[in-house]
Amino acid sequence: MTTPSKPRRKMSVDRIPGPDFTVYSTDEPELEDVTQSSSETALTETSETSKPQPETETKTYAYSYDGSFAILTLDDHGRPNTETGRGLASQAFAGSYWTITLRCDSPNKRPQGSNYADALQAELLKYANTINARNPNPVAKFKARDFLGYCPKGHSDYAKPLVAISPIVPANTGGGVAGNSGGAGRSSGAGEMFLNDIYPLCKCLYNRLNLDPAGSPCGLIAITGATNSSKSLIARGLIFLILEAAAKHAFEKGLRRPHLVTFEDPIEEYFIKDPTTDLAPEKLEELMSLLVALNIDYTPRQNGIDADGLTSVIKDAKRQTPAVLFVGETRDPKHWKELLDFGSSGHLVVTTSHSGSVVEAMSQILSNTKAETPSQRSEVARRIRGIANIRSFTQLVKDQDNSLRTLLPALWMSTAQSINNLVADGLASILPALGQERELGYYGRTYFGRKLIQQTTERFKEIAKKEETENEILRKAMEWDIRGI
């Protein structure tokens, strides 16, 4: 008597663009008995069921399925065709969708493209017209930020209108990643001017950390700071730049679309949003069209709804092949080791954490991973790509209408010298070194203060006491560098 084989999942897809690809569904793929012949299988129909369902009487939920799939497609003559592959189906978008990453033996059918920007513009225009055609109150101007959901203020496409339709109705601009609380101009505080453009600040971090997708960057990046220090804003802006470059690279080379996997508790803001609601797209076809336009895949997972913890998210992510795994906040000490292990396996991890300085952040990581000896510090340091700490301060300038808020980061990055110094001297090696930042791997707040002044010369012209403001920024940056915070 033979033991029945474990059932496998069954799903249908329109086409197989390559050996590794992601599709989306409103329903978990159904089970299929592996003894059933392929000729007896039928294409599955989409169900409206979207919430995780109890598997057993113990009230556990099926957040994901990691196993074999019967991938059902139609051949060139419209006949059902079945392929077998492995992959991962995981709950996402706060229980609204299933994101299904599949691997099969089909050859890569993705065409190489020549101009990502033109393709992006054309696809977003199609999406804008589709949205406005069914909207009783058409949006007058869609902006690239509203589509992308993660475009930081200061980026050339931030306020670029894609389409204008009458009657004129003000565009929805509320609550974006690069909204008033984090971009140039007035912040959420009354009478406060925010001096930083987020895009050039994130671009500077991107360049220092060598995140060009052609080099397949990996390791852990920790963006740290106190509450309301804008660390989440910087993390999202940095991820935007990583995705933008990776999407363009994949488009031009005909590679698999880069995949962003996020894990938050709760989800603060979606990277892909419906521009009319500022939320995740409610219709599956809208979500798919946006992902196709941007040339990325996206799996946002919320703790307790889409997954039962970081451990299972990391386990699942190994089958999703993410270009970036973003963990919204690392609070549990034991999670640092899990993130470092994942980063050392050829993946890039970005997370945020509370700390008062780069030294304090590095101390937390070394302590929580029990890295006490030089060899243990070396092992941990080699898995860290960079640690940034964000500090902000507000100037109260006399005889001026607005107070001035400034972000000043500090950055430790992995270099041969910075790792050797950390192994030999421990935390005492993390010191600013003006003029030798690249070699020593530490960029102090004075470095970023000077960059800010160079990058925002036009903004400073609008400030009544320009020289006084610049001097105060550099004085505060040098003070923090001397104090080692």
Whole-angstrom distance, CA of residue 351 vs CA of residue 338:
12
- Summarize pLDDT for 117-148 with one digit per residue, the tens: 889 888 888 888 887 777 777 766 777 787 78
- Summarize pLDDT for 36-64 with one digit per residue, the tens: 443 333 333 333 334 444 444 443 457 99
DSSP E strands in 63-155: the ranges are: 64-74, 80-92, 97-103, 141-143
Confidence class for position 3, pLDDT limits 50, 70, 90: low
Q: Is the pLDDT of residue 189 over 50?
A: no
Of 61, 309, 258, 450, which is closest to residue 460 (Cα–Cα)? 450
Of 161, 181, 180, which is closest to residue 171 (Cα–Cα)? 161
Q: Is the pLDDT of residue 225 over 90?
A: yes
Confidence class for position 5, pLDDT limits 50, 70, 90: low
For residue 432, give Cα distances in angstroms to 14, 318, 443, 453, 485: 55, 37, 6, 19, 10
185 with 219: CB under 8 angstroms? Answer: no
Beta carbons within 10 angstroms of residue 288's beta carbon: 15
Mean per-residue pLDDT of the chain: 83
SS3 463: coil
Determine if residue 125 is left, alpha or beta; phi over 0 gives left, psi from -120 to 50 gives alpha, anything else beta: alpha
Of 124, 127, 143, which is closest to residue 135 (Cα–Cα)? 127
Beta carbons within 10 angstroms of residue 257's beta carbon: 24
Q: Is the pLDDT of residue 183 over 80?
A: no
Beta carbons within 10 angstroms of residue 60's beta carbon: 11
Domain ranges within the chain, ordered by starting residue: 8-103, 185-483
Whole-angstrom distance, CA of residue 387 vs CA of residue 186:
28
- Summarize pLDDT for 228-246 with one digit per residue, the tens: 899 999 999 999 999 999 9
390 with 477: CB under 8 angstroms? Answer: no
pLDDT of residue 397: 67
Q: What is the average per-residue pLDDT within 433-458?
A: 86
Whole-angstrom distance, CA of residue 299 vs CA of residue 310:
14
Residue whose tokens read 């703790």 = 303
Which CATH class, in words, describes the domain spanning 185-483?
alpha beta
